[in-house]
């Protein structure tokens, strides 16, 4: 499989500010790739470099196999971009703007345009100044999805969309993937990322800290386990990768209750140890996406662990309700 | 901010790709400017036409025209305002009166067009999305310059046609007429394009569109001052100062007086040189960035009220206008002594000044005419300042302020205080400049400056009324200010009937310092202004805010 985007060791500074500090990013052709990171991590700077709007100080970047700076114009025939904050011209209608962007890219499919206007419930006759935030966003989204391109670069594209439109957006992205197009999606809406993305890259302070499929990323974090045991737990605390172990004896001395966090890579050993004590019931919860991200977003390692733990305590109550991440081992 | 980007080597790029997308961008620019551009061109063309027509009536004989030439040649003040006369043909006279102002207007039009489609697009973030499409790195600048070229081309055509049709005295040859008209048209448009390229450079070196406009406007003002100074020193436009000013080049084309076509080549060379600089800079920077990086602001702000915010937003404008008025006053003041030379000069010209400045000593007439001019220009300031309210409202910046513990009237009051008080300040500075340039009669000159205020306030009051009652038509206040300026500037020259002149509030003011102070009209106008403001504010309080 060829790569739609390859970025290696990208550096870009503005004066004394290092926006990108050796960033790596690989996006396979045909995948939807989540691009995540806290505010100011360098996501938009990376995207601007990929669009040839900024020139990298050093490092290699390739878009669809070509140089994003030198071949900007040829590349842009095959690329559609939606910024997080779309501004329109006051005295041009939404329809005019959609057609303009279509013409400035490789062209526009009129049938698809009409269908998208319908699905996004956009009134293309209104003037730029009268659109709300969400509707301005829709103008750019229709222009992007109706364009005949190979790569979509979406920078927080759904900010301001209502949940119904968010739904429409997700279906559109899936359709794009089904057609074999590549999507780079920068987003803070984690449910959106989880629903759409094949792989994600997380960046912080201009450096990629994690990249892979969601399953792979989950593997690198902790699973919480709680169990009711027949006998006393034996040697759990000494097992590698175990954290926050809490043991209680059940009333009447008829067993023990255990709660712990374990690095997902060491889960097997923990389960073996638990079963030696005789398991009466067992619940294992993989990390939520929020925990995953908070761990990576936070400023440094120690803070990350603390923040993740705090977030976990906070989100524990809601975990079952949103149903996204709870899994029960049977 | 862009130290690294500037230092980076220019990419090896293929020329045609750099310009990809220019066509659609030009169409976008023309579509966006479909109203503004024709209005500018038509208004400038119409002012050439009205001057040509009125001169045809005023100076209908060769003797009268020779008289004007005579008086201008010997009068440095008049030369400073309009430049030297090179020909006593009707076309020559109309060119003499219009070329400086026509060129300056074309320059302002061009600067607005170019900044609007370059730096403003980057500042709003629209350029980022445009450039994500098939748009070459130099296409936005090219599109903007082509849009300016379209406007200036249309202007050249219109001025040529208007001059050929109306500025023709009897017995003047058709071929010479056409050559002269073409020279005026090309010189006017050439000045426009020259400053379009100045604006293109300004757009590269600052991140702020407002600042880019201000920088270019300052260059235009400097060109005007250089030309005025040079022309007052020399009777044939040959002063070095005149030649330092692009507006002086337009004058030195000498339309209708054995046109010096090679001067147009000087204009063309300056246009080309500036374009090369702008393109070089544009190819060497990141989008949205500039060569004068924005400095970081303080981490903690002291702004604590709507008034403080209004002052913070408008202080640059007030101080800029104030400095401009001080300089303009200095120049006009320095020319005042020469105005007395007029007495022996042309009867018609003298009458024009008397209609502008009152029937008294010539020096007093000149001072009154100049303070009147400053007053009418200050009306532009007051409109600009009042309409900041409109800009804040439609720019969605008023909404969060009004969502705080700030009433609408409280919010408006801060801006209006700066508008109406600022008008007093800049008139005071203009009067101070006049005194410093002239050297005598401080109280009289300050009085003459301040007596303009009631009329200025009426224009500002109309702007408040329009903004309060019909916010979508608020920009019509510019038309009101422009109309009073046209009535005051061209009206006396073409001897408009008194009822028409009475439409301008400035007509009703006493012609200080020569005439006696006449309080009733001044007080009445002040009362009218207050009523207009009160009505506008009442309407503002009741209507919906624009979203």
In chain B, which residues have their Cβ closer than 8 Å to the Cβ of A106? 134
For residue range B315-333, what is the model confidence (pLDDT) as tens digits? 988 999 999 999 889 888 8
Decide: B28 and B143 in contact? Cβ < 8 Å: yes
Q: Name the pLDDT band for A324 (thresholds 50, 70, 90).
A: very low
Between the ranges A95-99, B71-75, B304-308, B364-368, where is the mean pLDDT highest?
Answer: A95-99
- The chain-wide mean pLDDT, for chain B, equals 86
Please, which residues bridge with residue A11 across strands? A21, A58
For residue range B425-442, what is the model confidence (pLDDT) as tens digits? 999 999 999 999 888 889
Taking CA atoms, B289 is separated from A4, A19, A248, in Å, by 28, 14, 62
pLDDT value of residue A101: 87
Q: How far is A311 from chain B (nearest CA, A)?
A: 30
- Alpha-carbon distance B134 to A104, whole Å? 5
Residue B134 has pLDDT above 50, yes or no: yes
Across the interface, do A74 and B131 touch by the CB < 8 Å criterion? no
pLDDT value of residue B224: 83
> Which chain B residue shows the shortest CA-CA distance from A50?
B132
Residue A326 has pLDDT above 60, yes or no: no
SS (H, E, C) B190-209: HHHHHHHHHHHHHHHHECCH
> Which chain A residue shows the shortest CA-CA distance from B6?
A55
In chain A, which residues have their Cβ closer than 8 Å to the Cβ of B30? none
In chain A, which residues have their Cβ closer than 8 Å to the Cβ of B20? 73
> Which chain B residue shows the shortest CA-CA distance from A51?
B132
pLDDT value of residue B493: 64
The beta-carbon neighbor of A105 closest among B17, B124, B133 is: B133
Instruction: Tell whether A113 lies on the interface with B, counting CB pairs under 8 A.
Output: no
In chain B, which residues have their Cβ closer than 8 Å to the Cβ of A69? 11
Please compute Rg for chain B using Cα positions: 24
Across the interface, do A14 and B132 touch by the CB < 8 Å criterion? no
Taking CA atoms, B87 is separated from B91, B100, B233, in Å, by 8, 16, 19
Residue A305 has pLDDT above 50, yes or no: no
Neighbours of A116 (CB within 10 A): 21
pLDDT value of residue B348: 63
pLDDT above 90 covers what percent of chain A?
39
Across the interface, do A48 and B128 touch by the CB < 8 Å criterion? yes
In chain B, which residues have their Cβ closer than 8 Å to the Cβ of A14? 1-2, 4, 289
- Alpha-carbon distance B357 to A1, whole Å? 83
Across the interface, do A140 and B31 touch by the CB < 8 Å criterion? no
Q: How far is A49 from chain B (nearest CA, A)?
A: 10
- Alpha-carbon distance A41 to B399, whole Å? 30
Across the interface, do A14 and B126 touch by the CB < 8 Å criterion? no
Instruction: Tell whether A59 lies on the interface with B, counting CB pairs under 8 A.
Output: no
Q: Name the pLDDT band for B359 (thresholds 50, 70, 90).
A: low
3-state helix, strand, coil in chain B (%, to 5): 75, 0, 20
The beta-carbon neighbor of A86 closest among B28, B129, B287 is: B129
Residue B539 has pLDDT above 50, yes or no: yes
Decide: A24 and B12 in contact? Cβ < 8 Å: no
In chain A, which residues have their Cβ closer than 8 Å to the Cβ of B4? 13-15, 57
Backbone φ/ψ region at A65: left (φ over 0), alpha (ψ -120 to 50), beta: left
Across the interface, do B132 and A88 touch by the CB < 8 Å criterion? no
pLDDT value of residue A320: 37
Check residue B343 and report its DSSP letter. G
Q: Name the pLDDT band for B115 (thresholds 50, 70, 90).
A: very high
Omega before residue B149 within 30° of 0, cis: no
Taking CA atoms, B416 is separated from A233, B456, B546, in Å, by 78, 13, 19
The beta-carbon neighbor of B1 closest among A15, A77, A105 is: A15
Among B2, B7, B129, B390, most A C-beta atoms within 10 A, so best to mutate, is: B129
Q: How far is B414 from chain A (nearest CA, A)?
A: 26
Q: Name the pLDDT band for A319 (thresholds 50, 70, 90).
A: very low
Please, which residues bridge with residue A127 across strands? A93
Across the interface, do A105 and B134 touch by the CB < 8 Å criterion? yes
- The chain-wide mean pLDDT, for chain A, equals 84
For residue range B361-373, what is the model confidence (pLDDT) as tens digits? 778 877 888 898 8
The beta-carbon neighbor of A83 closest among B31, B129, B287 is: B129
Q: Which of A97-106, B159-168, B273-282 has the lowest mean pLDDT?
A: A97-106
pLDDT above 90 covers what percent of chain B?
45
> Which chain A residue shows the shortest CA-CA distance from B2?
A14
Q: Name the pLDDT band for A1 (thresholds 50, 70, 90).
A: low
Residue B161 has pLDDT above 90, yes or no: yes
Q: Name the pLDDT band for B249 (thresholds 50, 70, 90).
A: very high
Q: Which of B92-101, B237-246, B483-492 has the lowest mean pLDDT?
A: B483-492
Across the interface, do B134 and A87 touch by the CB < 8 Å criterion? no
Across the interface, do A92 and B31 touch by the CB < 8 Å criterion? yes
Give the residue-averaged pLDDT of B254-271: 93
Decide: B96 and B349 in contact? Cβ < 8 Å: no
Q: What is the dihedral of CA B10, B12, B13, B14, to 10 degrees?
A: 140
pLDDT above 70 covers what percent of chain B?
91
Q: Which of A102-111, B5-14, B115-124 has the lowest mean pLDDT?
A: B5-14
Query: Taking the CA of residue B238 as centre, how many other CA atoms within 13 Å lie in the half-sphere pointing to its CB?
Result: 3
Decide: A10 and A54 in contact? Cβ < 8 Å: no
Residue B123 has pLDDT above 50, yes or no: yes
Across the interface, do B132 and A70 touch by the CB < 8 Å criterion? no
pLDDT value of residue B490: 67
Please, which residues bridge with residue A202 across strands? A36, A210
Among B120, B123, B133, most A C-beta atoms within 10 A, so best to mutate, is: B133
pLDDT value of residue B491: 72
For residue range A246-290, what is the model confidence (pLDDT) as tens digits? 888 877 777 888 888 888 788 888 888 888 888 888 998 877 777
Q: Name the pLDDT band for B206 (thresholds 50, 70, 90).
A: confident
Residue B402 has pLDDT above 90, yes or no: no
Q: Phi and psi for B250 in degrees, rounded to 5?
A: -60, -40
- Alpha-carbon distance B233 to B252, whole Å? 15
Q: Name the pLDDT band for B345 (thresholds 50, 70, 90).
A: low
pLDDT value of residue B346: 57
Give the residue-averaged pLDDT of B351-359: 67
Measured N-to-C along each axis, helices B453-469 and B476-494 cross at an angle, to the nearest 10 degrees, of 140
- Alpha-carbon distance B315 to B417, whole Å? 12
Across the interface, do B136 and A57 touch by the CB < 8 Å criterion? no
The beta-carbon neighbor of B134 closest among A53, A73, A82 is: A73
For residue range A11-51, what is the model confidence (pLDDT) as tens digits? 998 878 889 999 999 999 999 999 998 888 999 999 989 98
Please, which residues bridge with residue A201 across strands? A35, A211
pLDDT value of residue B358: 63
Give the residue-averaged pLDDT of A131-157: 93
Neighbours of B360 (CB within 10 A): 15
Residue B303 has pLDDT above 90, yes or no: no
Please, which residues bridge with residue A282 across strands? A227
Residue A303 has pLDDT above 80, yes or no: no
Residue B448 has pLDDT above 90, yes or no: yes
Q: What is the pTM of this model?
A: 0.78
Q: Between residues B396 and B144, which one has the greater pLDDT?
A: B144
Across the interface, do A51 and B132 touch by the CB < 8 Å criterion? yes
Taking CA atoms, B248 is separated from B14, B101, B226, B276, in Å, by 39, 11, 8, 23
Q: Name the pLDDT band for B171 (thresholds 50, 70, 90).
A: low
In chain B, which residues have their Cβ closer than 8 Å to the Cβ of A81? 129, 132-133
pLDDT value of residue A108: 87
Q: How far is A328 from chain B (nearest CA, A)?
A: 46
Check residue A230 and report its DSSP letter. S
SS3 B466: helix
Across the interface, do B3 and A129 touch by the CB < 8 Å criterion? no
Residue B12 has pLDDT above 50, yes or no: no
- Alpha-carbon distance B188 to B156, whole Å? 7
Residue B9 has pLDDT above 50, yes or no: no
């Amino acid at each position: 499989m060829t790569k739609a985007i390859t970025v290696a060791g990208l550096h870009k500074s503005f004066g004394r500010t290092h926006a990108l500090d050796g960033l790596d990013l690989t996006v396979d052709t045909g995948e939807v790739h989540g691009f995540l990171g806290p505010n100011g991590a360098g996501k938009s700077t990376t995207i601007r470099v990929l669009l040839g709007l900024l020139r990298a100080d050093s490092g290699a970047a390739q878009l669809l196999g070509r140089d994003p700076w030198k071949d900007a114009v040829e590349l842009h025939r095959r690329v559609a971009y939606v910024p997080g904050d779309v501004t329109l011209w006051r005295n041009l209608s939404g329809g005019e703007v959609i057609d303009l962007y279509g013409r400035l890219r490789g062209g526009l499919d009129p049938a698809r345009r009409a269908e998208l206007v319908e699905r996004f419930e956009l009134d293309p006759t209104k003037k730029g100044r009268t659109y709300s935030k969400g509707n301005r966003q829709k103008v750019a989204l229709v222009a992007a999805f109706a364009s005949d391109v190979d790569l979509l670069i979406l920078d927080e594209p759904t900010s301001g969309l209502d949940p119904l439109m968010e739904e429409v957006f997700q279906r559109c992205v899936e359709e794009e993937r089904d057609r074999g197009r590549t999507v780079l999606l920068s987003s803070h809406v984690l449910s959106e990322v989880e629903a759409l993305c094949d792989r994600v890259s997380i960046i912080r302070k201009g450096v990629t800290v994690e990249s892979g499929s969601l399953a792979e990323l989950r593997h690198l974090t902790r699973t919480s386990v709680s169990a009711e045991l027949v006998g006393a737990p034996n040697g759990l605390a000494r097992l590698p990768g175990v954290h926050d172990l809490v043991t209680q004896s059940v009333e009447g001395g008829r067993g023990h209750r255990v709660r712990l966090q374990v690095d997902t890579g060491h889960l097997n050993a923990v389960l073996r140890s638990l079963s030696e004590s005789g398991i009466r019931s067992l619940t294992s919860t993989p990390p939520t996406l929020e925990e995953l991200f908070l761990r990576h977003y936070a400023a440094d390692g120690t803070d990350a662990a603390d923040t993740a733990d705090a977030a976990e305590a906070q989100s524990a109550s809601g975990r079952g309700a949103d149903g996204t991440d709870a899994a029960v081992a049977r | 901010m862009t130290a690294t980007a500037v230092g980076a080597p220019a990419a090896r790029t293929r020329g045609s790709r750099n310009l990809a997308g220019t066509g659609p961008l030009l169409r976008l620019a023309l579509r966006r400017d479909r109203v503004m551009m024709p209005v500018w061109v038509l208004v400038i063309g119409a002012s050439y036409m009205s001057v040509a027509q009125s001169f045809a009536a005023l100076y209908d004989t060769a003797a009268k025209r020779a008289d004007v030439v005579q008086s201008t040649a010997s009068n440095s003040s008049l030369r400073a305002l309009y430049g030297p006369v090179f020909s006593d043909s009707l076309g020559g006279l109309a060119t003499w009166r219009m070329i400086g102002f026509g060129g300056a207007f074309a320059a302002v039009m061009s600067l607005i067009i170019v900044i609007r489609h370059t730096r403003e697009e980057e500042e709003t973030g629209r350029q980022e999305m445009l450039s994500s499409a098939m748009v070459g790195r130099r296409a936005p600048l090219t599109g903007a310059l082509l849009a300016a070229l379209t406007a200036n081309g249309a202007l050249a055509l219109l001025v040529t046609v208007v001059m050929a049709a109306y500025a023709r005295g009897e017995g003047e040859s058709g071929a010479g007429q056409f050559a002269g008209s073409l020279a005026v048209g090309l010189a006017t448009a050439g000045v426009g394009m020259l400053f379009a390229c100045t604006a293109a450079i300004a757009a590269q070196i600052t991140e702020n569109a407002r600042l880019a406009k201000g920088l270019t406007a300052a260059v235009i003002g400097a060109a005007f001052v250089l030309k005025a100074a040079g022309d007052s020193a020399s009777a044939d436009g040959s002063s070095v100062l005149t030649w330092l000013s692009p507006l002086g080049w337009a004058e030195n084309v000498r339309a209708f007086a054995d046109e010096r076509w090679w001067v147009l080549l000087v204009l063309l060379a300056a246009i080309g040189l500036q374009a090369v600089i702008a393109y070089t800079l544009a190819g060497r920077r990141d989008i949205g960035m500039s060569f004068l990086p924005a400095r970081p602001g303080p981490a903690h702000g002291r702004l604590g009220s709507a008034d403080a915010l209004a002052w913070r937003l408008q202080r640059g404008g007030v101080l800029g206008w104030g400095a401009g008025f001080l300089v303009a006053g200095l120049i006009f003041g320095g020319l005042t002594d020469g105005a007395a030379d007029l007495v022996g000069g042309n009867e018609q010209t003298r009458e024009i000044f008397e209609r502008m400045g009152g029937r008294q000593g010539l020096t007093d007439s000149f001072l009154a005419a100049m303070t009147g001019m400053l007053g009418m220009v200050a009306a532009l300031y007051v409109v600009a300042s009042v309409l900041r309210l409109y800009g804040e409202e439609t720019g969605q910046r008023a909404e969060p302020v009004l969502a705080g513990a700030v009433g609408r009237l409280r919010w408006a009051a801060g801006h209006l205080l700066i508008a109406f008080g600022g008008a007093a300040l800049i008139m005071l500075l203009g009067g101070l400049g006049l005194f410093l340039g002239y050297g005598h009669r401080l109280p009289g000159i300050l009085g003459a400056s301040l007596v303009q205020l009631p009329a200025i306030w009426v224009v500002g009051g109309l702007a408040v009324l329009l903004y309060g009652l019909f916010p979508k038509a608020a920009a019509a206040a510019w038309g009101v200010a422009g109309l009073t300026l046209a009535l005051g500037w061209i009206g006396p020259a073409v001897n408009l009937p008194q009822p028409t002149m009475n439409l301008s509030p400035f007509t009703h003011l006493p012609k200080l310092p020569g005439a006696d102070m006449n309080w009733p009209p001044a007080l009445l106008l002040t009362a009218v202004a207050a009523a207009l403001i009160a009505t506008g504010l009442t309407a503002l309080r009741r209507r919906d805010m624009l979203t």
